[in-house]
Structure 1
Amino acid sequence: MLDLNSIAEFSRCHCIGICAFLVPANLGLANATILLTAFNRSPQLIANVARISIVPALILLLHVATWWSIGVVMLPTFILPTLAIICLATQAYVVSNPNRTRRLLQIISKFSSAKYRQFVAN
């Protein structure tokens, strides 16, 4: 039988290890989705990476919920869900608007390279 108390206790006991894996996984998968869109990869590949990235984001939200369930309210218990929600929102936006994302990335790239040249010239 699945014992949720044992799972929640495991989550709290191994918090550092869980967060040490889930935070980079969330950021890396969100970054991968953005880069795949920037490099004009197939929409199916982008959607598959976005689907995979839902898993660590949801696990991170559930992990923080175990802390909230025992009354722990600290800064990390707000930062981590915010990170997961931002990663999920980024995934949703990139999958739903790949052309706009590509144009936005091109604008950012041009602006950044112009500023870099200006900085190096001085």
Structure 2
Amino acid sequence: MNMLSFNALLDFSRCNCVGICASLVPINILSTALSVYKVSRGHSPRSIHISIGFSSLAAVLLALHDLSWLIIGVIMAPTYILFTIAMVCLGFNAWAGCHPRSMRQTVLTILGYGQRGLAMLWPRSQADY
């Protein structure tokens, strides 16, 4: 009975691939970006952990959906791309959960370089000050 339900779940995943991917990919990217934002802005640990948990769940669901295709031998570029998206999102969430200080410092450093680069492209005139 358990194998039958597992096969039904895999069939459901494959039959509804477009809808599953169309929802899980943006959810993964946006929820991971939200986790990184919350860490970089110093939100409460509870808020950060809820965001990380939701984002990690979405990444695991995307990876499992992708594995349903690998089980039957569908090896194509989208299979690897989706699996990579899921693993990168899980990696960022693990980083946010395990080492939030280093993530915050890295994000702030990158933003600082970005601000300096923009300042070189569009220097402020004396009237802006």
Q: What TM-score, normalized to structure 1?
A: 0.92
How many residue pairs get aligned? The number is 121
1:31-83 deviations in whole A, cap 9, x for unaligned? 01110011111112111211111211111111111111111000111111111
Counterparts of residues 42-121 of structure 1 (less than 5 Å): 42-121=44-123
Structure 1 ranges of 4+ moved more than 4 A: none
Q: What TM-score, normalized to structure 2?
A: 0.87
Q: 5+ residue gaps in structure 2?
A: 124-129
Q: Is 1:12 paired with 2:25?
A: no
Q: Percent identity of the aligned residues?
A: 33
Q: Secondary structure at the match of 2:46?
A: helix
Q: Which amino acid aligns with 1:103?
A: Q
Structure 1 position 98, deviation (Å): 1.4
Structure index of larger Rg: 2
Q: Please provide the CA RMSD for this pair.
A: 1.3
CA distance, structure 2, for counterparts of residue 102 and residue 59 of structure 1? 27
Q: State the match for 2:126 in structure 1.
A: none
